[in-house]
Homo-oligomer: A and B are copies of this chain.
């Protein structure tokens, strides 16, 4: 019944192998470059095999995005529990750095085509992640809803603008310092 450990089923436990390989391909090639055939070949399995574990390509992408939100939640909780001097700023910085170091995964997490009809799992994962965000922020300082939304928008927009290379760095300018400066400017 339950998958007994260290006894590979048929070829090993796919699904996990698929997800791991998919994450690597995603970060290297982008979402458009993640094809089921390439993915299957990377894991050493036939092209139809992934369909035993994922209903469709979209379902595979959804699973990737869900793990992305889980990692995101973990990162936010970690920095919050380290009780930094300025929790708001520290979490904002973590938010942006997460986006920058998981570029394509972050983009996938907010990909519009995923939340088009169906896909309630994604929505739930996103809500869970932002609930922890809201909870942590609300716990550390009594911020009004509007201010919290404004901070969220600023940090999210900064992430995307940096990700897309819209914000040009000046000569010899440090990305991390710029992030801190922008977050610091209330």
Contact = CB atoms under 8 A, between A and B. Distances in A.
Give the residue among A31, A153, A185 with the most B Cβ atoms within 10 A. A153
A78 interface: no
B112 A164 contact: yes
Contacts of A153: 153-155, 157-158, 161, 182
Give how many copies assemble into the complex: 2
A97 B124 CA distance: 27
B185 A146 contact: yes
A30 interface: yes
Contact of A30 (B110, B116, B182): B116
A150 B32 contact: no
Given A146-B182, A150-B185, A30 B112 contact: yes
Interface of A: 30-32, 104, 107, 110, 112-113, 115-116, 126, 130, 146-147, 149-150, 152-161, 163-167, 178, 181-182, 185-186
